[in-house]
Amino acid sequence: MNNITQKYLEATKHILFKNLRINDEKYIDKKVVLVYDLESPISIELSKWYITNLQNKPNSEIINFNETDKDALKQKLLSLEPDSTVILVQSTNFMLDDFRIRLNLNNAWVWCLEHRHLAYIYEEQVENYADAIEYKTPYYIELWAKLKTLSDSAETMTFICNDWSTLRVTWWFEDMKLNDWNFDWRSRWGNFPIWENFTEAKNFENVNGELTIYAYPDDKLQVEFVKPFKIKIDKSIVTCDEETCPPTFNKIMDFIKESENWEVMFRELWFWLNNWITREKPLADVNAYERIAWFHMSLWKKHQIYRKKLHKDVMQRYHIDIFPDIKEIYIDDTLVFENNKYII
């Protein structure tokens, strides 16, 4: 067994027995269903080793998505007993419903873990993905607790880029939320790779400054790395007027403006914690790469958790992640990030 396959074997085992805890007393008699395809290098690796780790689980079921009737599969999943578990290994996205199937499963108390958009990740990044899903939950929990303690009482956050562009967010923040996908409470669902913290300013007028951007998604939802360029943020509204602003980024800005009252808003402050994803070891799918241990921002007005901060008549449609070239992050006077890693 080579090094990469060993990593996938261990990672899938830990997801099953440490994150999902399918052998714990509460879940050991419940059904575990793996739905997979074999249409990308990573889906092949994940499927193989999930199947290996489930082979001695008597109440598990293995389903090749491309060899089953889609309506019958949907009915099977939605009729599972509460506290059953579904794992989806998807090269793109299994379109089983108008909504993403995991949301309907979660509403039925059927727990769902997704690996998706695997075909968007380049073949040379197969080992990067294995590293990104390695079990590091205790580390993530400890780091999240430290960030939340600082954030929830903070008056100011300062984000400094490598060219010294600086964004300052002042005068208090929303309660910092955590998506850890540790599967130990009501929301036993999520995507792998894992770990994110997020908050936002209490008042959008207190978000001002500049940031230098080095990456953003293209129209295939893959990360486009570019020569760093500067954006300006004035009371949470983003502009990019410099001649260095890439045409593809202007296209994103125009796309959002057309649907959101001819402006582009910056709302959420994302603190992602997965330090096994780096600029040197990236994942091409933007939904996976965004877990990088870094800060990133989203261009949008849409927000499910903080939705009511904007009037119900305000159109909230998009959420597009972009990546600033961050050098340092301060929460009040505490330096929490430098040299490409969290230091608290």
Q: Is 308 exposed, middle or buried (0-12, 13-18, 19+ CB in 10 A)?
A: exposed
Tokens linked to 278: 């780096």
Residue that terminates a domain, selected from 68, 98, 132: 132
Please tell me whether residues 127 and 156 are part of one structural domain: no
Work out the end-to-end distance of the chain between its first and last CA atoms, rounded to an integer number of angstroms: 37
Please tell me whether residues 199 and 213 are part of one structural domain: yes
One-character DSSP codes across 73-92: HHHHHHTSPTT-EEEEE-SS
Residue that terminates a domain, selected from 132, 150, 166: 132
Please tell me whether residues 54 and 112 are part of one structural domain: yes
Please tell me whether residues 268 and 245 are part of one structural domain: yes
Please tell me whether residues 171 and 244 are part of one structural domain: yes
Question: Between β-strands 111-115 and 85-89, what pairing exists: parallel, antiparallel or unpaired?
Answer: parallel
In 3D space, the residue among 278, 320, 279 whose CA is nearest the CA of residue 297 turns out to be: 320
Query: Are 92 and 116 within 8 A, CB to CB?
Result: yes
CA angle 67, 71, 76 (to 5 degrees): 85
In 3D space, the residue among 203, 195, 41, 196 whose CA is nearest the CA of residue 127 turns out to be: 41
Residue that terminates a domain, selected from 132, 163, 185: 132
Task: Quote the pLDDT of residue 167.
Answer: 97
* Cα–Cα distance for residue pair 50/87, rounded to 1 Å: 9
pLDDT at residue 227 tops 60: yes
* Cα–Cα distance for residue pair 233/316, rounded to 1 Å: 19
* Cα–Cα distance for residue pair 285/117, rounded to 1 Å: 7
Question: Is residue 324 very low, low, confident or very high in pLDDT (cuts 50, 70, 90)?
Answer: very high
3-state secondary structure (DSSP) of residue 256: helix
**Sign of dihedral through CA atoms 329, 335, 337, 342?**
negative
**% the chain with pLDDT above 90:** 55
* Cα–Cα distance for residue pair 158/97, rounded to 1 Å: 42
At 254-275, the pLDDT tens digits run 988 887 778 898 888 888 778 8
* Cα–Cα distance for residue pair 295/44, rounded to 1 Å: 31
Please tell me whether residues 164 and 290 are part of one structural domain: yes
In 3D space, the residue among 303, 312, 295 whose CA is nearest the CA of residue 157 turns out to be: 295
Query: Are 21 and 27 within 8 A, CB to CB?
Result: yes
Which amino acid would we find at residue 23?
A: N
Please tell me whether residues 35 and 83 are part of one structural domain: yes
Distance set, CA 324 to CA 163, 198, 207, 216, 338 (Å) = 11, 16, 15, 9, 14
What is the number of domains present in the chain? 2
Please tell me whether residues 120 and 158 are part of one structural domain: no
Query: Are 57 and 22 within 8 A, CB to CB?
Result: yes
The interaxial angle of helices 41-54 and 3-14, nearest 10 deg, is: 60
Please tell me whether residues 290 and 254 are part of one structural domain: yes
Question: Is residue 164 very low, low, confident or very high in pLDDT (cuts 50, 70, 90)?
Answer: very high
CA angle 65, 220, 253 (to 5 degrees): 140
Q: Name the residue range of residue 265's domain.
A: 137-342
Q: What is the mean pLDDT of residues 30-58?
A: 96
Question: Is residue 326 very low, low, confident or very high in pLDDT (cuts 50, 70, 90)?
Answer: very high
Tokens linked to 323: 């990546």
CB hemisphere CA count around 259 (13 angstroms): 13
pLDDT at residue 176 tops 70: yes
Please tell me whether residues 85 and 180 are part of one structural domain: no
3-state secondary structure (DSSP) of residue 21: coil
User: Could you write out the three-class secondary structure of 225-244?
Assistant: EEEEEEEEEECCEEECCCCC
In 3D space, the residue among 137, 244, 223, 235 whose CA is nearest the CA of residue 180 turns out to be: 137
Please tell me whether residues 155 and 215 are part of one structural domain: yes
At 118-131, the pLDDT tens digits run 999 999 999 999 99
Residue 197 or residue 65, greater confidence:
65
Residue 239 CB coordination number (10 Å): 13
**% the chain with pLDDT above 70:** 90
Please tell me whether residues 123 and 256 are part of one structural domain: no
